[in-house]
Amino acid sequence: MRAAQVVECGRPPVVADREPPAAPDGHVLVDVLAAPITPLDLLCATGTSYFGKPATPYVPGVQGVGRAGDRVVWFPMSAGMAPGDGSMAERAAVPEADLVPLPAGVDPVEIAALGLSAVAAHMALTWRGELAPGEQVIVLAAGGVVGQAAVQLARAAGARRVIAGARSQAAQARAGKAGADAVVALDTDDVGELARRFTAAADGPVDLVLDPLYGAPAAAAARALRPHGRLVNLGSSASETCPINSSTLRGKSLRLLGYTNNALTREQRAAAVTVVAEHAARGALAVAHEVMPLAEVGAAWQRQAGGGAAGRIVLRC
């Protein structure tokens, strides 16, 4: 079979012919239809992640969509985080318990593009953030895949107003297309200036902030929160530290919450994938993405890593 293969950490994968995988007890062979190139894939393949340096060669891909018998399914993999191969191949061996059946007629590429990023957006908003109908939400990094999904999912959960924060003009445009009521430019690290922009864009105090950035944007958004408001952090794309003032935190009795997909049970993850797929099947959830063939994985990998892609790149396998 044809598969992407990381031969050396720090270098893009190459396409190679490999023996099809066997299916150990409890596993199912899945004919892969689509596999996204995600930030986690890129990080693991550098050999510098907290999971350690993976043994090479290996097939990357921490998630995918494929066909198992007569079912179209989403599935997770641990490639790069643990020994074994991933989804960027024509076929993958997946534990039966990890398969999540998808609604009839759903686009495999759309679901692959959404994947665990949309799961994070949904669960950070609802499970950790406890979003209630009628609340007002700020979504930071709203031009990214998590952010675009969060804007749409917040609306679907009943948010009355969704304010997006994004840095580049292209990211701001994606956030607007996702349905944000207002888009704030994150083109400065001046916390006071960003806080003024969020306050001006909001319809009164904000209830919840979804934050994949941390750093100055999170500190500014926190100032726009109401007393007892919540900020859920699920990333540090802007900075590993954040200058939230003690007076802001204490004066409003704010709740700062962390989120990671790694904390989900298998059942929680499957339920969240199902919610995401149902929204996508209705045409109510989509993110910017590109499709490239598995044969061009090297070029696709470099474009995704270098920020040259128009959204998430999905490999058609």
**pLDDT tens sequence for the chain (317 residues):** 999 999 999 999 999 999 999 999 999 999 999 999 999 999 999 999 989 999 999 999 999 999 999 999 999 999 999 999 999 999 999 999 999 999 998 999 999 999 999 999 999 999 999 999 999 999 999 999 999 999 999 999 999 999 999 999 999 999 999 999 999 999 999 999 999 999 999 999 999 999 999 999 999 999 999 999 999 999 999 999 999 999 999 999 999 999 999 999 999 999 999 999 999 999 999 999 999 999 999 999 999 999 888 899 999 99
DSSP state at residue 150 = H
Which is it for the CA torsion 130, 136, 141, 145, positive or negative?
A: positive
Q: What would the pLDDT profile of 3-12 be if each residue is shown by its tens digit?
A: 999 999 999 9
Q: What would the pLDDT profile of 48-106 be if each residue is shown by its tens digit?
A: 998 999 999 999 999 999 999 999 999 999 999 999 999 999 999 999 999 999 999 89
Q: Say what the pLDDT of residue 310 is.
A: 83
Q: Which two tokens stand for residue 225?
A: 């929160």
How far apart, in whole angstroms, are the C-alpha atoms of residue 137 and residue 128?
14
The CATH classification of domain 2-114+264-316, taken from the options 2.60.40.1080, 3.40.50.12780, 3.90.180.10, 3.90.1150.10: 3.90.180.10
Domain ranges of the chain: 2-114+264-316, 129-258
> Phi-psi region for residue 84, left (φ > 0), alpha (ψ -120 to 50) or beta?
left
- What pTM, to 2 d.p., does this model score? 0.95
> For the domain 129-258, what is the CATH superfamily, name and number?
NAD(P)-binding Rossmann-like Domain (3.40.50.720)
The yes-or-no answer to whether 2-114+264-316 and 129-258 have a common fold is no
- What number of residues does the chain have? 317
Q: What b/e readout covers 49-85, taking b as 16+ CB neighbours within 10 angstroms? A: beeeebeeebbbbbbbbbebeeebbbbbbebbbeebb
